[in-house]
Structure 1
Amino acid sequence: MSVKGYESSYYTDSANHKNDYPTLRGEVSADVCVIGAGFTGLSAALHLAEKGYSVALLEAERVGWGASGRNGGQVCQGHNMSHEDMVGKVGREVADALWQMSIDSVDLVRDLIDKHDIKCDLKKGVLHVAVKPGPCDEMKKDIAYKQNVLGYDAIRYADKDEVQAMLGSERYFGGEYWTNAAHLHPLNYALGLAAAAEKAGVQIFENSRVSDYRAGRDAQVNTEHGCVKAKYILLACNGYLGKLEPRIAGKIMPINNFILATEPLDEALCRRINRDDVAVADSRFVINYFKLSGDNRLLWGGGENYTSKFPNDIRGFVRKYMLEFYPELKDVRIDYGWGGTLAITLNRMPYFNRLDDNLFVAQGYSGHGVALATLGGKLMADAVSGSAEKFDMFAKVPTPTFPGGTLLRWPGLVAGMLYYSMRDRFF
């Protein structure tokens, strides 16, 4: 049975024990107020508490309610921007540090899972596959660059024969195999972080939507029934920022992505379509991605929309993408279909910034949220405690505002997405 207060999904129905946290009522004082209990906010709160800070964590819905509890669960190194492009924007030293931090982000997720004994179906391996021959040469060049220039060996090229043997489909032509990447049950990971944060002393408040706040001296965060007086405020809202902070709303674009979960599959079928139990993402601009759950369901993500509403039939909406690659699954029962809202930036790099002396933001992970959001929370905690060097390196990456800001970003994005969707189909 789904956990009360969450959107129905396979993740909620397979969630570990869920603590209920109170609604904020009255006045609370803390060193730091964190807004948003997704990966960013949970990581920030946990790391701050471990440093000795008192922390109040406010969540408008439930812990992990947003994209953190609904996503594909892939935990992979790297950034959406190429390292060469990053060098051109911020210089070699900072670009190299950002690359290393992407590696560290995956290690951080593993370390937190181990340290706090989080049960979240952690598995190893991520495979990025080409659905046409064209991207294969670029993949080979990118892998050679990582191996020879960056000295990173936990990635290799898988040729057509290997990829087709791994995935049981002739629709794939090659791939990047990230051998030290991982995948997991994202909601159980979020719930585990929350339990660890609470144990460390964090005051967690659910159903406590922030209406407004003021930073600077005498900082205060207000909800319908209470307020938090704090020395620092951390914004960890991502795709659910809304109108809370107009200065940064135009840096991100909320988009909706959708996932289905099949009935449990027999072992032979699981090994045929995903021999090595890796997480998979393809080369389309609007990507397909899939993995096997801990109980052998196929979790398949496919399709997006850019409105405030989800499709009426999410299962059918996603199923057509799955059957395009695996038509033999046409008789497999679809038990779940759900969606979530994430935030992308124009350059697909996370947006980190210090808006005021005591106001920090980390958002816009653009599909790399499990690892980089966990790291983003830790870096905000480090910045609060006076070690802002790594946070500031992310902040140096220029993040353009969407043309037209929040008013016109939607039609512009839709036009661009439709163009790339057509390219996915015909070129």
Structure 2
Amino acid sequence: MAWQSPISPGISWYEATVPDRPAYPAMDGSRQTSVAVIGGGFTGLQAALNLARHGIDVTLIEAHRIADGASGRNGGQLGTGQRWWPEEAEAELGLERSRALFAMAENAKRHLLDFARNHAIDIDFMPGHLSVSHKPAYEKDYRENARILAERYDYPHLRFMERAETVERTGSSFYHFGNRDAGTGHIHPMKLAVGLARVAAASGVALFEQTPATDIRTVEGKVVITTPNGTITAEKALIACNGHIGRLEPVTARHVMPIRSFIGATRVLGDHPDVIPGNESISDSRFVVRYFRKSRDGRLLFGGREAYTADNPADMDGPIRRQIAEIYPALKDVEIDYAWGGSVGITMSRRPSVKEVMPNVMSVGGYSGHGVMLSNYCGKLYADMVAGKTTELDMLAEMKIPAFPGGPGFRPLLLFVALSWYALRDRF
């Protein structure tokens, strides 16, 4: 039977298709280490693995199981660039900095795919991505995006699709036009996370599951992390909890907010070959984005239910099926074999939050739905930074990420109101 995560509702299709997911022990007793990593997702695992490869002693703790958070439950789409379009960043940061951030994201893409290839991890990579518009008013923006990427960012892989091609490639008449990106694709995230953990353990990382951090502080220049069965004393620490920071560390909690996203996996659609016939991943132009793709075995994986609290809903199938039916009316009664949810860590600016939150303690997260590539790469960059290298992580650390206003009790309410407004705007 597949593992049921205690922090995320539903058993995912990912979990059901990784039957050999290994377990790691809980930490029992106190430890001393050079670097402690809190969080067993992509960021934490890549950081720990690359620290070990630099010859640095590292201990990683995960409150539940490796990849129980967003790293093992996400939409699996790689995308291109950062969370915002390059021309948006260019308007604020200038062309040089925007190009550097775009190049960083391309480096992240290469790092992920090279890592899986070099370690023979079958991540179900399938090429291609379609960014499609649910409003005709966005046509100029989409056309300009394709032109700008080719002319100013040396990225020739993305091109504009007229309506007829968009209908053919999506298998739906719902969207007006879009851009097709042949330079990216989508993966099975749980397979990557499980493979990454295995490589980390084999490289000498001390991995502990079912070991939550209950407190972190610096004492006489050392970082002291409290867990239920002992403490970790370290020279440095990385907080890689993303949307599951809770009340562990207040600076991160003010800058990274969890929102719930939900995904359904339909039955195998062998009788609907017109649905995404090219097997690309798809995301749309809504602020509350809908994202969907076909799995290697031919299921439609559809995500994006609008929910902005940490609650676990009693019914996940119904809202997901209604969204599917809006785009694919022939699938209005399709069986949903798996439905699951998870917390996405977002920031106010939709840019990653990279901060030293106390002496010798760095917090990295807030990828805002664009984290499959960036989380893996940022983990590696953190390790390189600790090893004394100058890295692209400095660009993210220099960005001014505003905090969410209000205290812990008020912030979720404010976020709910704001995102509900955007969801309403998406409908008109």
| Fold equivalence (TM over 0.5) | yes
Rounded to whole Å, the distance in 1 between the matches of 2:381 and 2:3 is: 31
Q: Is the CA contact 1:58–1:206 (under 8 Å) kept in the aligned structure 2?
A: yes
1:41 alignment counterpart: 44
Of 224, 231, 244, the residue aligned with 1:227 is 231
Counterpart of 1:232, as a letter, is K
Give the equivalent residue in structure 2 for 1:391: 393
Please name the residue that 1:196 is paired with.
199
Which whole-Å CA distance do the structure 1 matches of 2:30 and 2:40 have between them?
A: 19
Q: How big is each residue's C-alpha offset from its partner over 1:353-384, in whole Å with a ceiling of 9 and x where there is no partner? A: 22344211111000101011111111111111
Question: What does 1:149-164 correspond to in 2, within 5 Å?
Answer: 149-164=152-167
Aligned length: 424
User: What secondary structure, in the 3-state scheme, does the structure 1 residue paired with 2:192 have?
Assistant: helix
**Counterpart for residue 316 of structure 2:** 314
Q: State the Cα distance separating 1:296 from its structure 2 match.
A: 1.1
TM-score normalised by L of structure 1: 0.96
Matched residue SS, 1:121: coil
Matching of residue 64 in structure 1 with residue 67 in structure 2: yes
Aligned partners of 2:27 and 2:417: how far apart in 1?
42
* Aligned partners of 2:258 and 2:310 also within 8 Å: no
Q: CA offset at residue 4 of structure 1?
A: 5.8
Superposed CA offset, 1:308-366 (max 9, x none): 21221101121110011111012321111111001111110111122344211111000
Give the 3-state SS of the residue equivalent to 1:75 in structure 2. coil
Q: Does 1:328 align with 2:330?
A: yes
How far residue 248 of structure 1 moved from its aligned partner, in angstroms, is 2.1
Which residue in the other structure is 2:263 paired with? 259
Match 2:23 to one of 20, 23, 26: 20
Amino acid at match of 1:52: G
* Structure 1 stretch displaced more, 128-137 or 53-62: 128-137
Residue 135 of structure 2 is aligned to residue 132 of structure 1: yes
Q: Is the 8 A contact 1:129 1:172 kept in 2?
A: yes
Q: Would you say 1:167 and 2:173 are equivalent positions?
A: no
Q: Which residue of 2 aligns with 1:250?
A: 254
Q: 1:73 is matched with which residue? A: 76
Deviations 1:199-245 (A, max 9, x none): 11111100000001223612221100122221110010000001111
Instruction: Say if 1:43 and 1:378, in contact at 8 Å, map to a contact too.
Output: yes
Alignment-mate amino acid for residue 394 of structure 1: L
Partner of 2:149: 146
- Cα gap change, 1:241/1:376 in structure 2, threshold over 3 Å: closer, same or farther? same
Tell me the CA shift for residue 88 of structure 1.
5.0
Residue 414 of structure 1 and its aligned partner are, at CA, apart by 1.6
Structure 1: how far apart are the matches of 2:12 and 2:66? 15
Please tell me whether the aligned partners of residues 26 and 209 of structure 2 are also in contact (alpha carbons under 8 angstroms). yes
Deviation at 1:247, TM superposition (A): 1.6
Task: Verify the 8 A CA contact 1:90 1:396 in the aligned structure 2.
Answer: no
> Unaligned regions of 5+ residues in structure 2, if any?
none
Q: Which residue of 1 aligns with 2:290?
A: 288
Q: 1:86-109, CA deviations, whole angstroms, 9 ceiling, x for partnerless residues?
A: 345444433322110011111111
- CA drift at 1:305: 1.2
User: Any conservation in 1 of the 2:87–2:148 contact (CA below 8 Å)?
Assistant: no
Question: 2: CA distance between counterparts of 1:16 and 1:46?
Answer: 23
- Following the alignment from structure 1 to structure 2, what is the Cα–Cα distance between the partners of residues 94 and 357? 28
2:49 is equivalent to residue 29 of structure 1: no
Aligned residue runs from structure 1 range 82-161, under 5 A: 82-161=85-164
Question: Which segments of 5 or more consecutive residues in structure 1 lack a partner in the other structure?
Answer: none
Decide which moves more: 252-261 or 324-333: 324-333
Residue 412 of structure 1: how far off its partner (Å)? 2.0
Read off the aligned partner of 1:247 and give its amino acid letter: V
2:244 to 232, 240, 247: 240
Cα distance between partner residues in 1 of 2:218 and 2:95: 34
Q: Deviations over 1:35-64 (max 9, x none)?
A: 000111111111111111111110000000
Structure 1, residues 181-207: CA drift from partner, whole Å, max 9, x if none?
121111111111101111111111000
CA distance in 2, matches of 1:88, 1:163: 29
Give the corresponding residue for 1:2: 2
Partners of 2:100 and 2:141 in 1: CA distance: 23
Q: Distance in 2 between matches of 1:395 and 1:405?
A: 24
Distance 1:394 1:62 in 2: 28
Match of 2:182 in 1: 179
| Selected match of 2:351 from 349, 374, 378 | 349
User: Would you say the 8 A contact 2:77–2:281 is kept in 1?
Assistant: yes
Shift of 1:136: 2.0
Q: Give me the CA root mean square deviation.
A: 1.6
* Cα offset, 1:80, TM superposition: 2.5
Task: Map 1:353-364 onto structure 2 (within 5 A).
Answer: 353-364=355-366
- Number of the residue aligned with 1:218: 222
Q: How far did residue 406 of structure 1 move?
A: 3.0
